[in-house]
Structure 1
Amino acid sequence: MTKRSWMKLLCMLQICFLIFGGLTIVLPHQAQAASNVKENFQVSGGVSYKDTRLSTSSTKQAIRMLEVNMNDPYTTVGIGIPNPLNRLAKTTTQALEHHTQGNLVVGAINGNFFDRGLPMNLISKDNRLVHAGTVYSGKDKYVNEPIAFGVTASGKGLIDHYNIQMSFVHNGTPYPITNTNFERSVNETILYTSSYTKEYPNTNEYGTELVVTMPNAPTFEFGAGETGVVESIRHTGDKNHVYIPKNGFVISAHGDAGAAINHIQVGDSITLSIDIDEKWKNSAYMIASGPMLVKDGQVSLSMDPNSPNAKQRAPRTAVATDATGEKVYLVTVDGRQKGYSNGMTLTEFAEYLVSIGANRALNFDGGGSTTMAVRYPGTTAVKLANSPSDGKERSVSAILMAVSTAPPGKVKTLDVKKSKEGSILVGETITVSPTFAMDEFYNPITVAASDLALTEANGLGTINGNTFTATQVGKSNITVTVGDATVNVPIEVVDKPLFSDIKSPFWAEKEIAYLVKKGVISGYPDGTFKPNATINRSHAAIMLTKALNLDTNNVQDPGFKDVPKSYPYYKEIAAAANAGLLKGKGSGKFDVNGQLTRAEMAAIIQRAFEIPNVNNNYFSDVSKNHFAYNAINAVTAQGIAAGYQDGTFKPSKSVIRSEFSVFLYRSLTK
């Protein structure tokens, strides 16, 4: 299949996913992967969140994604830069620090790589250089080309190469600068600013250092030269430190670079020049990383895909854009957690990003740094959404944030809860309380119980504030309103409970009520049902006879020694035995008081409702030699019976009244 044909097929699969809500994703380097969307919700007016799980026979992947619409007037992707630059903090911590009125952080991921606390790659903000960073040689390195993600002057996301030029000019002669705030190496010139981790350059005596001051603190703006005066010089061999001025900078040069500036004197004028290529001019920020994963809608790694770091399955983080830059995707995949998420190779990660519509994608720091934070509906701030491979959230350097700048709005979405679930009695009172409310921009709004307006159309009760008192039997809805938001809360008012020991809600309430109404089962004289009491074989005969309307007037004597014609339930046992539903227990006896087991229950249900055998065994404790092997698997396949969480059926366990009621109800209503 050609690349063009593959992309066409992939687009068709994406359309199917949107239509049907799920699909099987086929990636070239992966086995067929079944896709399941675990969570999918709107975070703000321009940001949505999706938690997708992929699985094959050998791998599992947990992928989270924030999709950001840069066309939304109240939405952008922002950057969180450490202050000081070598400060590390959790992604959620940094997000909360940037979360302010008018700048609501609704999602965040970790950013680029870092070493010894410092970002390893370029960072700029507001068209000003923060940190030049490093580009490494060798295709086995993550960042081997100068590539960045940023938000352009037009407000769109951009992933592309960059070309930064740094130099200083003395008497008309330019001298190149290698890097900023980085360890100085052979023949390099490093610019040290007040953002450095120490008050002085941590350099040895084998270099020349110029301390330059200015009337005001330098801004390091791209394209704007800044001029200062050499205040002092530390020459080669001097072991004393020079201090970085707040209103200036230090130029530290080694070897040939140092020799080239030995003629500069105290008092000389120095002009600092930092510039970036035109496409990045006036950008809101830039954050460099690598490798490039996707280019022009195709997998395109700027790193050797067969190098060890690229081939290993690991947690990954990336930022991606569509072809217009109007959509930005913040994506993570967890890893190194067997049975939950294996992680991806860089090629697999790139293939997945192509499948979601990425035109460009850039890899960020992964492994234990991979972090996804999101603001869940109704909450005020982000919280950790993924499962970091360290078992806890790692402190990282810079982060990217999905930001909502929407102003406070009116209540648009409302969620409430009742003080009691299930049916209520005539005369009983319930209260309705708010759980959360959101405005039209999905921002949380505080709503008190006193803000709720309640109405109920069918006249089943009276309303006082947020309290409803039932007066009539029936079903209805309580309509709850706050501002423009309305939610209906279903209610059911009953005259009295069926039985005094079954309080609504009860797990088998519906099934018991159904059988009582049909006259199949009844309670005890004291008004109880005794749902946990065991069923004996006589009880089973009675209920089956009533459920199946068996003829009890014209029965043949089954000949059980312990069931004479004078026995109270003789006719019911005889009718059930005549129908082939119940059999004796040996020695010519029926065992009238014997406790009905789960295995016997399955056998009776299969016979009564003629349920066919299945070629499957669902339970570890039911062997093929068991007398009820076929019956147990047959009723399980029909959804009538179920096992326990440990994979067993417990065939010898006695059946209780509520349990038998559920099995019988399911059989009758199938």
Structure 2
Amino acid sequence: MSTTKRINLFLFAAMVIFSNVRATEISTVTLVGPGVWHTHTRIPEVPWDMHIMTIDLQNPYITLESSKGEDQLFAREGTSVAAARQSHPGHRVIGAVNGDFYNVETGEPINAQIVNGHIIHRPTGRPTFAVSRDSIPFIEYMSMSGVLVDDSGTGNAIHGVNQSRNSDQLVMFNDFYGAATATNEFGTEVVCTLVSEPVVNDTVRVVVTAKYADAGNAQIPDDELVFSGHGASAAFLNDHVAIGDTLRYLMRFSGVNESVLVNAIGGNPMIVQNGAPVNDDGIRHPRTSVGWDESGRYLYFFVVDGRQPSLSLGVTLGELGQLMAERGVWRGLNLDGGGSSTFVIQGQIKNTPSDGGERRVSNHMLVVSSAPIGALDSLAFITHERRVFRNGTATFPMHAYDEYGNPLLADTLDLDWNCDAVIGTITDTGVFTAGTVHDSGYVYVNSVNGVTRDSVRVTIDVPVELMMNPHALVLRMGESQPVQLDMYDTGGNHIPVNPGDVAWTVPTDLLSQSGATFTAIGAGNGWLVANYLATPGSCYVAIEVDSANLVLEDFETGLDLWELEGTEMDMFTTRFMASAEFPGAAKLRYKFTRSGGSSVVSMQKDILVSGSPDYLTFRFKGNGNSHSFMWYFTDIDNELFRLLIPYSTSNTEWQTITLPWNYAQADWSNPGAPLTFPITFRHLDIFLGGGDVNETILDSIYFDDLVADYFMEVKPEVPGLPSEFKLMRVYPNPFNAATRIEFQVLPQSNVDLAIYDITGRKIWWHHSTGNLNAGLRSLIWQGVDMQNQPAASGVYLLQLQSNGQQISRKLVLMK
């Protein structure tokens, strides 16, 4: 859909999701006044947070106005404060953004400014954004010239506006300059009242009300002008101007085809020309910009927040130009950014300024409506899909508009509410109470006058899943483990659990209970069950049994729960995703430019670990470069520890990496803290290798199965050629779908693997004939027999044979 067609839609509120090769964009679009829309866009992968104001310049009620801080050349004012000060009936400020760069000490803008026809500051060689009397926008490099003409047609050049007067110069002052001209007595000054509207590039008529010869520092009355001359210009005023005369002046700004200008503001540099981005500085900051589409009908103000890593990183000039061009901007200009960037809609600051609050700036651009307030013409719910938990209450925010597109306060309108009986009830004021059954239906709102109506689809959610974390308790005698309960409803929403309302079923021969913490008191295995809101959840319990393995993270599901941060990284490109090359594993795609420092990706996710495992392992596939790993975790006392893998790995094959506890170090904040189990993993930092200085690296590495091993007779060894045949581990065990069997073989080995049920019947087997190379090998049993039929829940015996040696291990299949 083209930009023009999209904007022509009368959008009240919409949720739009754009997908492209760069990122996913989540946008809300809201009509905020006659012919004015506010778009809020989130691009979470970077992240970027962006606000766009779209203005239909053909709307007869809309004008663009430049604003000067406190109406003074040498002053600053917050954007929202300036908008509120100048908003009144018949002149309502719908939106505003900050404007030009400025002198931070005086508040004087760097470049040109015109406010409703009054020149505040002359152009200074930078591009200027201007709007004509006919609402035609311009971005051009402009210069200024002017002339003052008496009633006989004799003229004198105007050399400047609101500036110091030099030899032989004629300078025009207006009340934006201050109370007086601050000139010396070596000249002549005349005070004039406007008798026609001030503009640029057309003649303006004034009447002389006062004249001061050989005098300076004339007072500048409100809404009047002072022409101050020195030398030859003073002689012109003395000889050709008298009180009561009607004079004409013409101020010209070049580069706009002599269009009559009424408002203008400076910026720098141009960032979009002919629909393509131009200029880049390579540095990300908060930014403000302005531009319009090729037709010249739709004008856009952009603000992209920055310097806030969790919200928005900011954009380079090139990135801002690209974002603008993608949205149909044909010509665009960068305005002041950084902490100055401010975006105001209906008096409210919608962006998040990087200073932590609104900055007082030199000038602003205002979007002003002269439309009257009419009667209710249309209603629109902000969202047309809503989920409500059973027995819960909800209200339904909406937008209401009159026939001009003015927003109305929905709470003040006379409306009729009703809903489908299957989902609940609703009051006359729009307060909805959900029923108790999982179902869907509609809530309806109608204007009493019958002009407009809208509806929203409502789904009633009920509890559906109670999850226990950790999902299994594997403990030694006397160890304690807190259990965390997470409830989810039919909409996938997390439901808070009130611990006092949980009903527990505890295997009392194995565990004692204190609240939600359980202590191992007897050997064996069983089940711990919790019930909340009539929804059960359970976890397997194993106390000092034979070897057990728990998969803490399968790197297959829930990858969106991992959060990434980076140091010396291109986080715009770096992503963690499912691997298409190795199904069931995860891929970290990364990009960085090698510098003198370390390039580090921090992968963050809380992972609870039951008990005190002998060791933990994860599977990793590298790309030939040398990478190191640092795991961070907290113990039961919330002390922070870090665990550095004691070697870098540059392997390009899948390998199992061990996390040895003897390498764990307490954080510097409490270096003597003892490690007390159980623990919670917090994040994994990967120190990426490869690349020469200034070389850009784009590559991927892979992860699979973070596993905790308990009660192991066989401990991990430093990788090398095996000296004996070993069954290393079986994980997960217990399992409910599939389990991986890892074993170590000698050179030139045959291997037979068989699974037996409790009657001694062999239900599944695997035979490797010939010459397996020495090393770690693995097979996966999918919990089926040789006819591929699912095996029943229960205990099974694994037998592994090689070169006359036999090893057995008990397996538990749970379904």
3-state SS in 1 of match to 2:129: strand
3-state SS in 1 of match to 2:121: coil
Q: Give the deviation of 1:349 after TM superposition.
A: 4.6
Out of 377, 381, 390, the position equivalent to 1:414 is: 381
**1:485 aligns to 2:448 (yes or no):** no
Q: Between the two structures, name the one with larger relative contact order (CA 8 Å, sep ≥ 6).
A: 1
What is the identity, as a one-letter code, of the residue corresponding to 2:18?
Answer: G
Higher helix fraction: Structure 1 or Structure 2?
1
What is the identity, as a one-letter code, of the residue corresponding to 1:534?
Answer: F
C-alpha change, 1:203 and 1:467, in structure 2 (3 Å) is: closer
Higher strand fraction: Structure 1 or Structure 2?
2
**1:197 aligns to 2:178 (yes or no):** yes
Give distance in 1, aligned partners of 2:735 and 2:443. Answer: 37
C-alpha change, 1:600 and 1:366, in structure 2 (3 Å) is: closer
How many positions carry a matched residue from both structures?
525
Give distance in 2, aligned partners of 1:98 and 1:262. Answer: 39
Preserved CA contact (<8 Å) 1:113 1:364: yes
Give distance in 2, aligned partners of 1:355 and 1:431. Answer: 41
Give distance in 2, aligned partners of 1:444 and 1:268. Answer: 50
Matched residues, percent identical?
19
Give distance in 2, aligned partners of 1:20 and 1:669. Answer: 41
C-alpha change, 1:478 and 1:218, in structure 2 (3 Å) is: closer
**1:23 aligns to 2:7 (yes or no):** no
3-state SS in 2 of match to 1:507: strand
- Cα-to-partner distance string for 1:432-471 (whole Å, 9 max, x where unaligned): 434454448482533279956233333x766665677788
3-state SS in 2 of match to 1:21: strand
Structure 2's unaligned 5+ residue stretches are 1-14, 448-452, 468-484, 491-501, 507-512, 530-540, 551-606, 623-628, 633-641, 647-655, 661-678, 686-705, 711-733, 739-812
- Cα-to-partner distance string for 1:31-58 (whole Å, 9 max, x where unaligned): xxx54536443343642424355978xx
**1:242 aligns to 2:239 (yes or no):** no
C-alpha change, 1:486 and 1:665, in structure 2 (3 Å) is: farther
1:42 aligns with 30
3-state SS in 2 of match to 1:447: helix
1:70 aligns with 57
C-alpha change, 1:394 and 1:324, in structure 2 (3 Å) is: same
Preserved CA contact (<8 Å) 2:92 2:369: yes
C-alpha change, 1:344 and 1:177, in structure 2 (3 Å) is: farther
Out of 259, 265, 278, the position equivalent to 1:287 is: 265
1:84 aligns with 71
What is the identity, as a one-letter code, of the residue corresponding to 1:179?
Answer: G
C-alpha change, 1:493 and 1:172, in structure 2 (3 Å) is: closer
What is the identity, as a one-letter code, of the residue corresponding to 2:454?
Answer: A
3-state SS in 2 of match to 1:96: helix
**1:400 aligns to 2:381 (yes or no):** no
Give distance in 2, aligned partners of 1:286 and 1:52. Answer: 30
What is the identity, as a one-letter code, of the residue corresponding to 2:270?
Answer: M
Q: Give the deviation of 1:383 after TM superposition.
A: 1.6
Give distance in 2, aligned partners of 1:414 and 1:217. Answer: 50
What is the identity, as a one-letter code, of the residue corresponding to 1:191?
Answer: M
- Cα-to-partner distance string for 1:322-373 (whole Å, 9 max, x where unaligned): 2211121212344566787665565665455445433222232334322223
C-alpha change, 1:312 and 1:178, in structure 2 (3 Å) is: farther
User: How do residues 120-519 of structure 1 correspond to structure 2 at under 5 angstroms?
Assistant: 120-124=110-114, 129-136=117-124, 143-144=125-126, 147-153=128-134, 155-161=135-141, 164-170=144-150, 171-198=152-179, 200-205=180-185, 207-214=186-193, 219-222=197-200, 223-229=202-208, 231-235=210-214, 238=215, 241-245=217-221, 248-258=224-234, 263-264=239-240, 266-267=242-243, 269=245, 271-276=247-252, 279=257, 281-283=259-261, 285-298=263-276, 314-334=285-305, 346=317, 349-350=320-321, 352-373=323-344, 375=345, 381-388=347-354, 390-403=355-368, 407-408=373-374, 409-410=376-377, 412-414=379-381, 422-424=389-391, 431-439=393-401, 441=405, 443-447=407-411, 451=415, 453-458=417-422, 465=428, 475-477=439-441, 479-483=443-447, 484-491=453-460, 507-508=486-487
- Cα-to-partner distance string for 1:262-281 (whole Å, 9 max, x where unaligned): 54565584623124477464
Q: Give the deviation of 1:109 after TM superposition.
A: 1.1
Give distance in 1, aligned partners of 2:814 and 2:173. Answer: 79
3-state SS in 2 of match to 1:542: strand
Give distance in 2, aligned partners of 1:111 and 1:188. Answer: 30
C-alpha change, 1:433 and 1:386, in structure 2 (3 Å) is: closer
C-alpha change, 1:444 and 1:345, in structure 2 (3 Å) is: same
1:109 aligns with 97
C-alpha change, 1:482 and 1:447, in structure 2 (3 Å) is: farther
Preserved CA contact (<8 Å) 2:99 2:266: no
Preserved CA contact (<8 Å) 1:62 1:333: yes
Structure 1's unaligned 5+ residue stretches are 1-17, 25-33, 137-142, 425-429, 499-505, 512-520, 546-571, 584-596, 633-641, 654-662
Give distance in 2, aligned partners of 1:462 and 1:244. Answer: 67
What is the identity, as a one-letter code, of the residue corresponding to 1:233?
Answer: Y
1:562 aligns with none
What is the identity, as a one-letter code, of the residue corresponding to 1:168?
Answer: L
What is the identity, as a one-letter code, of the residue corresponding to 1:42?
Answer: T
Q: Give the deviation of 1:543 after TM superposition.
A: 2.8
2:796 aligns with none
C-alpha root-mean-square deviation of aligned residues, in Å? 5.6
C-alpha change, 1:346 and 1:262, in structure 2 (3 Å) is: farther
Q: Give the deviation of 1:510 after TM superposition.
A: 5.7
C-alpha change, 1:252 and 1:405, in structure 2 (3 Å) is: closer
1:543 aligns with 527
Give distance in 2, aligned partners of 1:437 and 1:43. Answer: 9
Preserved CA contact (<8 Å) 1:480 1:488: no
Q: Give the deviation of 1:431 after TM superposition.
A: 4.3
